[in-house]
A and B are shown apart, each in its own frame.
Chain A
Amino acid sequence: MANNDICVSVDRISKKFSRSLKRSFVYGARDVGAAIIGRAGKNVLRPSEFWAVRDVSLELHRGKSIGIVGLNGSGKTTLLRMISGIIRPTLGKIHVDGRIAPMLALGAGFKPVLSGRQNIFLNLSLLGVSEKGIRDQFDSIVDFAELHESIDAPLGTYSSGMRGRLGFACAVHTSPQILVVDEVLSVGDARFRTKCRNKINDLRRDGTSLLLVSHSSILVETLSDECIYMRRGKSVMQGGPREVLKAYDEDGLKRVEETNALSSSKLAERALTHDQVLGISSVRIHAGDGADTGFWMSGRPGQLAVAFQCATALEDISVNLMIIDMTHHQGETVQFMMSSRDIGWLRIKPGSGEIDLQLPHVGLRPGTYRIKLSVSQSDMHDILDVVDDVRLVVRDAGGVANCQYYQPRSWEVTGGEVTRLDKQSDHSTFDEFEDV
């Protein structure tokens, strides 16, 4: 008998998937057969299958929240889908007590030709709200979504922001006992996002539990009471958010170091081919104090050293750097720097050389990035050499929670009887975070 205080209990669930699509359909047909004769899933993998989730257990108490972190493909979303009841676990049991508002399903069933009003009814019916329940909540939903004028217009005429708002408004008005959030707090404009955050906080104050999946440590740390770190389908660590996130971040850094070690050994082994005049031989990342740390810290100085081999004397050279986000908006270029634009063209003599990029303050927010580095020549930007798989980790130094980027700043008292109470506070948080 489940404890009344527990609203989601997951008991050693596993889920297997097939890597090959063709096979997966054959297995699907067999599973259909197995389901008909009522045979349960088996604990063995068939060829090309793998465990997307393996032996994961968790208990979510009423009013509490659990954050799940892990890289892409670590089984987080699969786990949420199983908890939301969309797919069935191969092994293990899930018990859910209460209505789930799955934020993975914002606007499920929305039909563009129908009006906003009809879509509200449709969406909420799908989410399991009765007709009466919908009528009771209707005005409040329209209020929340701020769609008074256009509620009778076809959904097709809405902007994507309006649709997102309507989807979110519907989801939070199902009077859920459990909120399942999968990285989708990015609805509408900044003001509406704040409204969403506050609405979620309101629900939580009223005792709604929260299951949150994210690869952002900061979001998880601020929102959850307990944290689970998933790697390759397994729950490798479970406990207080601080310890778990520390392990998660450390693992992330280790993985980046491994990737970089591999690519730098490849770089070092590379010799100039006969038609190549310049080749990058190493890329090193420092956190400003000289040691080859392999990461930067947000708000602190950062350095990147590029060493190269050059066969002939070259004019009009530029070193270019593109930094691509791999955490927040995957694939988005967040920085593009050209030495020629900053300090003019470089002239290089044959032999080896090195160029350092110095950042007084790393402006990037914490996360993992990919650096694409190239050396080009002249206005036409003929590419002489390019390295595009350098991984960069930016760690949190305490000043960028809820920020898009780090803003260098200082505070000064310029008048009146104002004194700073705790001179050390700024530094102590920095030190604390350095431990993380």
Chain B
Amino acid sequence: MKMITLYFLDIFSLSWRLFARTISAKYRKSFLGYFWMFAPAIFITGGVTLASRAGILNPGETVLPYPLFVFFGTLLWLVFAESLDVGHRAFEGARSFLVRVRFPHEAIILAQFYEVLITTAIRLALTMLLLLFFHHINATALWLVPLCFIGSLFLGLGLGMLLMPFTILFEDLRNTVKLILSYGLFITPAMYLPEGDGLFATIIRWNPVTPLMHAARESAGGVPLSSPGSLMVVLGIAFIITVIGFTLVRTVAPVIIERMLMGGR
């Protein structure tokens, strides 16, 4: 038992060091720092709000004021997209020492995860503030909105770790994932609610992020959840794939490191 405790202590202290390493390196090169956490959401919200005012985009009836509606959706998507990249970024960024020393590999994933965790927390705080100022906060929103953010975080993290071994091995797959991350926002209900049974509407309906977005906005808007069942399912899946993903990364790390050695650099 003591051994296990020590092992985890080691992982945490190492991951903390690695985290400090990336953070101070990152913000030493940036003046605007935290602004970049929100920039995409602000621009998208601004853009689509103008579009809907001009009548180009017709989002239909929304539970929140439209700009807030978009802001919620976009941020949730960003959280998902960024945590999806955690596994890959962790391994790619640690390439230089992965191939040279042995250390608990969980630490690099954790280090990368802390970064996303902090970003998510700050985004969540800002979202709540906006809600407070421009709408009103109810008791349900206080716990359900954070839950949706966390769900989105783990959904991305788990999925990313499941994909990571293959995105590291195959550049094509990596590019596909990048493409989905850049334009995937458009197949979520972040900006509008699709209606009917068309292909597009079906895709959006089956998008795993959709139930999270709906739930977050509905609870923020103070209306009852339209499909609490699918929210539960998605949260369950997020949790399960995170556990599976972590186990997978542990198991396959040596295979990946071996290919990194062969791939040069």
Contact = CB atoms under 8 A, between A and B. Distances in A.
Contact of A125 (B17, B94, B251, B263): B17
User: Taking chain B's interface residues, is the majority helix, strand, or loop, or is none over half, making it mixed?
Assistant: helix
B262 A21 contact: yes
A125 B101 CA distance: 11
Given A108-B96, A118-B20, A32 B13 contact: no
B50 interface: no
A122 B252 contact: no
B28 interface: yes
Nearest to B264: A21
Contacts of B94: 109
Contacts of A111: 21, 25
Nearest to A34: B255
Interface size class of B (residues with CB under 8 A): 35 or more
Given A105-B97, A108-B97, A126-B103, A35 B252 contact: yes
B96 A109 contact: yes
Contacts of A122: 17-18, 21
Interface in B101-132: 101-103
B229 to A, nearest CB: 30
Interface stretch (B57-65, B151-159, B162-170): B162-170
Interface string B222-265: 00000000000000000000000000100110111111011100
A25 B21 CA distance: 30
Interface string A291-330: 0000000000000000000000000000000000000000
Interface string A110-153: 01011000100110011110110000000000000000000000
Nearest to B100: A105
B99 interface: yes
Given A24-B259, A36-B248, A111-B25, A125 B14 contact: yes
A37 to B, nearest CB: 10
Contact of B255 (A17, A28, A113, A126): A28
Contact of A35 (B103, B251, B263): B251
- Most chain B CB within 10 A, of A24, A31, A114, is at A31
B132 to A, nearest CB: 38
B25 A114 contact: yes
A126 B169 contact: no
Nearest to B13: A131
B185 to A, nearest CB: 29
A111 B18 CA distance: 10
B97 A32 contact: no
B30 interface: no
A336 to B, nearest CB: 32
Given A24-B262, A128-B10, A36 B101 contact: no
B5 interface: no
B257 A87 contact: yes
B12 to A, nearest CB: 10
Contacts of B251: 35-36
A383 B245 CA distance: 63
A85 B29 CA distance: 35
Contacts of A21: 262-263
Given A113-B24, A114-B25, A87 B258 contact: yes
B254 A87 contact: yes
A348 interface: no
A145 B231 CA distance: 57
A282 interface: no
Given A35-B251, A36-B248, A86 B170 contact: no
Nearest to B102: A85
B21 A28 contact: no
Contacts of A224: none
B100 A28 contact: no
Contacts of B255: 28, 31-32, 35
Interface in A1-42: 17-18, 21, 24-25, 28-29, 31-32, 35-36
B166 A128 contact: no
Contacts of B252: 31-32, 35-36
A233 interface: no
B99 A86 contact: yes
Contacts of A372: none
Given A109-B97, A125-B13, A126-B101, A28 B258 contact: yes
Interface in B63-97: 94, 96-97
A217 interface: no
B10 A88 contact: no
Contact of B101 (A18, A28, A86): A86
A131 to B, nearest CB: 5
A17 B169 CA distance: 15
A67 interface: no
A88 B24 contact: no
A70 interface: no
Nearest to A171: B101
Contacts of A29: 165-166, 169-170
A114 B27 CA distance: 12
A177 interface: no
Contact of B102 (A86, A125, A131): A86
A235 interface: no
Contacts of B254: 35, 86-88
A84 interface: yes
Contacts of B9: 130
A56 interface: no
Nearest to B20: A118
Contacts of A32: 165-166, 169, 252, 255-256
- Most chain A CB within 10 A, of B165, B166, B248, is at B165
Given A32-B166, A114-B24, 17 more contacts: A25-B170, A28-B259, A29-B165, A29-B166, A86-B100, A86-B101, A88-B254, A108-B96, A108-B100, A109-B94, A113-B25, A114-B25, A118-B21, A125-B18, A127-B103, A128-B103, A130-B9
